[in-house]
Amino acid sequence: MSIDLTRAASPKHPIPRRPQLSEDVAGSIRQQIVSGVLQPGSFVRIEEAAVELGVSATPVREALVALRGEGLVEQVPHRGYRVNELSPQDVDDIFWLQGTIAGTLAGRAASVITGEHLEQLTALNDGLRGAVARSDTESVEYFEFEFHRFVNKIAGGTKLAWFLLGAVRYTPRVYATDRQWGDDAVRSHEQLIEAFGRRDVEAAADVMRRQFRKWDIR
């Protein structure tokens, strides 16, 4: 998926200093947790994380407080913040929520889509196909995100798209390095575009829901 509000800064590169710095730090740590880089039971040390991310201790501390509110970490007196376990049911729930919302939006889009919309979606999927063939992880994330963002824009479900974005925050992005997943995503998009071309609301919603189930990488 893409940068915007869903992609966290890489832990290998300093995070740019912006007013939302603590949110960016939270996003980076969150991704390390949901992708398994930070294992359940391990500790996130404020000073160490600050050095790793190239920021001061304050935004890291604020980020960990926010992640504690999300249930991803717990504070242990005199030791720091310990990573909580993300259970298989948690993962299932996240993908179910994404698929349900995205499927609803795809169905809405199918009822109002135009020829111009179809051309744009086809171009985005062609971009994804090329990125997958090149093993260009950053471009895979970009085109995948832009494809779905455009579908949501066509649907016009601003509030639903906002909730979907919240769920995407908890999606491990290691899928972008999986060639099989990339090939499947391209084919899924092709099926979705075909359903859109027929203005088949039920088929479009079903294709979208099934693609999100394929994101379960456990």
**Residues 105-149 pLDDT 10s:** 999 999 999 999 999 999 999 999 999 999 998 899 899 989 999
Cα separations (Å) of 202 from 89, 195, 209? Answer: 27, 9, 11
198: which 2 tokens? 């027929």
Residue 103 or residue 164, greater confidence:
103
**Residues 204-213 pLDDT 10s:** 999 999 887 7
Q: How confident is the model at residue 214 (pLDDT cuts 50, 70, 90)?
A: low
112-115 own/partner pairs: CB under 8 Å, 24+ apart: 112/154, 112/155, 112/156, 113/154, 113/196, 113/199
DSSP assigned state of 10? P
pTM metric for this prediction: 0.71
**Residues 144-195 pLDDT 10s:** 989 999 999 999 978 888 888 777 777 766 666 788 889 999 999 999 999 9
Residues 56 and 16: beta-carbon distance below 8 Å: no
Query: Residue ranges of the alpha helices (H) in 3-45?
Result: 21-34
129: which 2 tokens? 């196909």
Residues 146 and 152: beta-carbon distance below 8 Å: no
